[in-house]
Amino acid sequence: MLSANDIMQLIQSLIWLLAGVGVFIVGMNFLSEALEKSAGEGMKKLLSRISNNRFSGVGIGAGVTAIIQSSSATSVMVIGLVNAGVMTLMQATPIIMGANIGTTITGVLVALKNDYFNMLMYVFAFAGVMMGFFKQEKIKLAGLMCSGLGLIFVGLNVMSSEQAFGNPLVENMFQNIFSVIDFPLLLIFVGVIFTALIQSSSAATGVVITMVGAGILPLDLALFIVLGANIGTCVTALLASVGANANSKRVALIHFTFNVIGTVLFTAIVWLFKDPVVTLLVSLFPGSDPMSLQMRVSAFHVIFNVTTTAVLLPFVSQLVSYSCKMIRDKTEVETVRTLKYVDERLLTMPPVALMQSKKEIDYMFSKVEKNIILCFDAMKTGVLTNSAEISENEAVVDFTNGALTEFLIKLSAYVEQSDEQIIGSYFHVLNDLERIGDHAENFFDIAAEMSKKKIEFSEKALGDLSGMKDKVVKMIGISREIFDNLDRERLTELAVIEEETDRMKRELTASHFARLADGDCSMEVSPYYSSVVVGLERMADHLVNVGYSIVNPIGSQKE
C-alpha cells in the first residue's frame, strides 16, 4: 500500500514526465517550422522533380520528411498537392512511402544521445533563444531551428531524469502496467492511441526509445508499440482529408493501408519469432548501456519502414486501384465552389502555396480574357446565346478574387519577408482583374438592353469599337506575359498601347458626336456607345496597373 508521501512523489514524477513530453513536442514543432521555412527553395527543387518514377518518389518523400522531421506534415502536404491537382495518385503514393522512411531520422537522433551530446544540445537551445532577439529574419530562423533541436533533447532528458522515469515508484508502476498489458494487439492499440493523441509518430517513438533506455519498457513489448505508432500517425492525414476531394481522401486511405499492411506483416513476424528478432537486435547493438538499448528500438523502426516500402513499392498501381474502388467519385454536381490550384493544406508549404497562387491568378486571367471576347461579340452581333458561359466565367472571377485574397492573407503569416511584397502585388492584380471582369460583363448587359429595345450600333461605330477592343485584348496577352515571366521590358510596350487607347477614347468620342450631328447615329445608342468606350479605356488602365504591380510592386498605379 502506498503512503501519502509515495503518492505525492508519484504524482510529481508523472507531472515531470508529462513536462518532458511537452518540451519534446514543442521542440519538434519549433524544428519542423524552422526547417519548413528555411528549406523553401529545396522543396521547390524536390517537387519540380516529381515524376512517375517510383524510386524518385520514395526519395522525394524521404528527403522532404528528413528535412521537416514529420511524416504527418509531409502527408498533409501531399494531400494538399493532390487536392490542388499538382500531382496524381500514382505520383503521391511513393512519396507517402518515402515519408515513412524519412521520419526514422528522429528516432536515430534520439537513440544516439549521451552526456556530451546532451550538453551540446543544451548550448543549442540557449543559443537559439539568444538568436531570436536579432532583427534579421535568417538569424531568427536559424535560432528557431537551434532551439527546437535543443528542446527535443531537453525534453528527452527530463523524461529520463531521476524525477521522472528514474523514480523507482514510476518504474514499478510502468512495470506493473506492462506486466498486464503484454498482449501484442493491446500494445499496438496503445501505440495507435498515444500517437493519435500527440499527433506525432516521431514523438511517440522518442518516448518509447527513452523508456527502453531507462529500463522501464522491455524491448519485445516496445516493438509492438512502435508498430502501433506507425498506424496512429495516419490520423493526421485522415483528418486533413476531411472536406477535400476524392483523390485527397484516397491519398489518406493509401497512407493508412500502407501502414496497416506493414504492421500486420511485422506483427506476425515479431509475434511468431519474438526471441530470434530480439536476439538479432541485441547482436546488432550489444551492451547494456542506454545508447545500445535505445539503438535497438531505433534500428527496428528503420527496418520496419524500409522493408514495408520495399515490399509494397511494386504494388503502387494496386494500392491506387484499391483506393479508387473504396472511394468513388461523386456523381452529383458539386455545389461548393473551390479554387482550382490552391488548397489550404498548402499553407504548410509556403513556397509551393505561392507558386500555386500564381497559377490560380493566371487561370483568372484566362477567364477574364474569355469574357471580354464573348461579351463584346454578344454586343457586336446581338446574339445572347453565351449568357450561361459568361455568367459562369464571371462567377469564377468573383470567387477567385475573394477566396484567393483570403488565402493570401493567411499565407502572408508564413512566408519570408522577401515574399510578402509578391503577395502584396497579387492583391493588386486580383483587384484589377476583378474590375476588368465587371467591365466585360457590363458589355453583355448593354447587348441585352439594346436587343430588348431593338437598336444597334452603326457599322462605323462597331468598327471603331472593335479596333479599341483589339488593343485591350493585346494588352491582356502582354500583361499575362509580364505576370508569368516578370518581363520588365514589355512594360513599356504595355504603357504605349494604353496611351493609344486614351487617344482612341478621345477620337472615338469626337467621331461619335460628329455622327450624331450628321444624323448618321441614333441618340438612343449614344449612352451605350459612351459606356463601351469608357469601359475599354478603364480596362486598359487596369491592365497597366497589373504590369506595374508585378514588376514594380511599390510603384504608383493609375486611378
> Structural domain boundaries of the chain?
4-326, 344-551
- Res 306: pLDDT: 93
Least confident segment among 182-186, 465-469, 512-516: 512-516
What's the one-letter identity of residue 447?
A
- How many of the other CB atoms lie within 10 Å of CB of 77? 28
Q: Is the pLDDT of residue 114 over 70?
A: no
In angstroms, the CA 409 to CA 426 distance is 11
**pLDDT of 427-465, one tens digit each?**
999 999 999 999 999 989 998 998 888 888 888 888 888
Integer angstrom CA distances of residue 199 from 70, 205, 308, 412, 487? 10, 12, 22, 25, 45
pLDDT given at position 77: 72
Mean pLDDT of the chain: 82
Full-model pTM: 0.66
Res. 508: pLDDT tops 80 = yes
**What is the percentage of the chain residues whose pLDDT exceeds 70?**
86
Rounded to an integer, the average pLDDT of 189-217 is 82
Determine the average pLDDT of the residues in 207-228. 87
Q: Which tops the pLDDT comparison, 261 or 208?
A: 261
Q: What is the pLDDT of residue 49?
A: 60
CA–CA dist 241, 239 (Å, integer): 5
pLDDT, one tens digit per residue, over 530-551 is 899 999 999 999 999 988 887 6
Per-residue pLDDT tens for 130-157? 888 887 777 887 888 888 878 877 877 7
pLDDT of residue 400: 93
Higher model confidence: residue 357 or residue 248? 357
CATH number of 344-551: 1.20.58.220
CA distance 319 to 354: 31
pLDDT in tens, 190-203: 889 888 877 777 77
pLDDT computed for residue 165 by the predictor: 61
Least reliable range by pLDDT among 119-128, 313-322, 373-382: 119-128
Confidence of residue 268 (pLDDT cuts 50, 70, 90): very high
List all residues 6 or more positions away from 328 whose beta carbon is below 8 Å from its beta carbon: 246
pLDDT band at 67; cut points 50, 70, 90? low
* The predicted structure's pLDDT at residue 26: 82
pLDDT interval class at 336 (50, 70, 90): low
Print the SS3 string covering 15-82.
Answer: HHHHHHHHHHHHHHHHHHHHHHHHCHHHHHHHHHCCCCCHHHHHHHHHHHHHHHCCHHHHHHHHHHHH
Q: Residue 169 has what pLDDT?
A: 67
Per-residue confidence band for 554, with pLDDT thresholds at 50, 70 and 90: very low
Which pLDDT band, with edges at 50, 70 and 90, does 394 fall under? very high
